[in-house]
C-alpha cells in the first residue's frame, strides 16, 4: 500500500450525523430498560463505540470483547474468543456494538456466546453492513450504513493495522 490516503466512501460529517441518529433511536428504544451494557468488539469498534456511547441519553456502561477469525480470509467462518467481558452481564440489557458485519459469522458467534451469560436481552448494532456477503442469518437491530463488497478502512477499521484513525471511511484494494 502506498502512503496515499484511501478514497472517501463515507464522509466524517455523514458518519457524525448517522451516529447521532442511531444514538437517538437506541436511547428511545431503551428508555424503559434502566441501563444498557454496550459491548464493543475490539479492535474495530472502539471509535464508533466512543462516539455512539457519548451520544446516548440513557444510563449505559461499557464493556469490550475481542475475537479473532481462524485463518483470515478462510471460508471456515470459525471464530475464537480472545478476550471475554469483565463485568457480569447476567440479567442486564446487552447491546453488541460492531464496526462491520461481513459474512455474519462473528456476530452470530458473539450472540451465542453472550446468551450463555443469561442477559435480560441482547440486541446488535453495527456501523457498516455488507448485506450481499451474508453467509449466516443474523439479526442486526441497528445498522449505520449498508455498503457493497469492498474492503473499508478508517473510523476504527484497519487494513494490516493501517488507517484505523482516519476520520472518514475509505476503501482500499487489499493486495493478497
Ligand atoms: P464477519 O465475516 O464474521 O461478519 O466479519 C469478520 C470481521 O472481518 C469483522 O468483524 C471485521 O473485523 C473484519 N472485516 C470484514 N470486512 C471488513 C472490511 O471491509 N474492513 C475491515 N477493516 N475489516 C473487515
CATH number of the domain within which 119 lies: 3.40.50.2020
Alpha helices in 77-132 (DSSP H): 105-115
What pLDDT score does 94 carry? 98
Residue 104 lies in a domain: yes
Q: What is the pTM of this model?
A: 0.94
Residue 119 is assigned to a structural domain of this protein: yes
User: Is residue 44 one of the residues assigned to a domain?
Assistant: yes
**How many angstroms from the chain centroid is the CA of residue 167?**
16
- Classify each residue of 138-172 as buried b or exposed e, where b means 16 or more C-beta atoms within 10 Å of its C-beta: bebebbbbebeeeebbbbbbbbeeebbebebbbbb
Spell out the alpha helix ranges (H) of 4-72: 12-29, 46-55
> Is 24 contained in some domain?
no
Q: What is the pLDDT of residue 76?
A: 57
- Answer yes or no: is pLDDT of 59 > 80: yes
Number of domains the chain is built from: 1
For residue 87, the enclosing domain spans 36-68+83-172
Q: How far is the CA of 31 from the centre of ligand 1 (A)?
A: 31
Does a structural domain hold residue 165? yes
**Is residue 89 in a domain?**
yes
Ligand 1 pocket, Cβ-based, cut-off 6 angstroms = 44, 69, 100-106, 151-153, 157-159
How confident is the model over 1-31, as pLDDT tens digits? Answer: 456 899 999 999 999 999 999 999 999 999 9
Question: Is residue 14 among the annotated active site residues?
Answer: no
Amino acid at each position: 500500500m502506498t502512503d496515499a490516503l484511501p478514497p472517501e466512501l463515507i464522509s466524517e460529517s455523514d458518519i457524525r450525523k448517522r451516529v447521532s441518529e442511531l444514538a437517538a433511536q437506541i436511547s428511545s428504544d431503551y428508555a424503559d430498560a434502566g441501563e444498557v451494557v454496550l459491548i464493543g468488539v475490539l479492535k474495530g469498534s472502539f471509535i464508533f463505540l466512543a462516539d455512539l456511547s457519548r451520544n446516548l441519553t440513557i444510563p449505559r456502561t461499557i464493556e469490550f470483547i475481542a475475537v479473532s477469525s481462524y485463518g483470515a480470509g478462510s471460508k471456515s467462518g470459525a471464530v475464537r474468543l480472545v478476550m471475554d467481558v469483565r463485568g457480569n452481564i447476567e440479567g442486564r440489557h446487552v447491546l453488541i456494538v460492531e464496526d462491520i458485519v461481513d459474512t455474519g459469522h462473528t456476530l452470530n458467534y458473539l450472540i451465542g456466546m453472550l446468551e450463555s451469560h443469561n442477559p435480560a436481552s441482547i440486541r446488535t448494532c453495527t456501523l457498516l453492513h455488507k448485506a450481499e456477503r451474508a453467509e449466516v442469518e443474523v439479526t442486526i437491530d441497528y445498522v449505520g450504513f449498508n455498503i457493497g463488497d469492498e474492503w473499508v478502512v478508517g473510523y476504527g477499521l484497519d487494513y494490516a493495522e493501517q488507517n484505523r484513525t482516519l476520520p472518514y471511511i475509505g476503501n482500499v484494494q487489499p493486495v493478497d
